[in-house]
Amino acid sequence: IDHVCRAQTSVHLAEQQIGNRNFIRCTLGDIFNGAQSKQDGKVAVFSPFGMGVLDLALGELVCKLATEKNCGTVIDSFFPVPWIQRGN
């Protein structure tokens, strides 16, 4: 967890703003290997940090597993409409 709480990442900035790391419950690995379980009514946030290609690979795995288990939330407005589809 120390590696993500540096270099002005969103997690680092949140830690600085509230003054502690109590909002960090576990790592993604902890959830995958069963060391931590889903908490009803709580949101799990994946905050990648490190080599970009590894972040993409892990993100793809998370998306695949979530789709297979029919869990997670799709936010349709997350990505903007591509410029080529805007008709400008």
**How much of the chain, in percent, has pLDDT values that exceed 90?**
23
Split into its structural domains, the chain has a count of: 1
Domain region containing 39 = 2-85
Report pLDDT for 45: 78
How far apart, in Å, are the Cα atoms of 53 and each of 24, 38, 50, 76, 88? 24, 27, 9, 24, 33
Q: Binning pLDDT at 50, 70 and 90, where does residue 88 land?
A: low
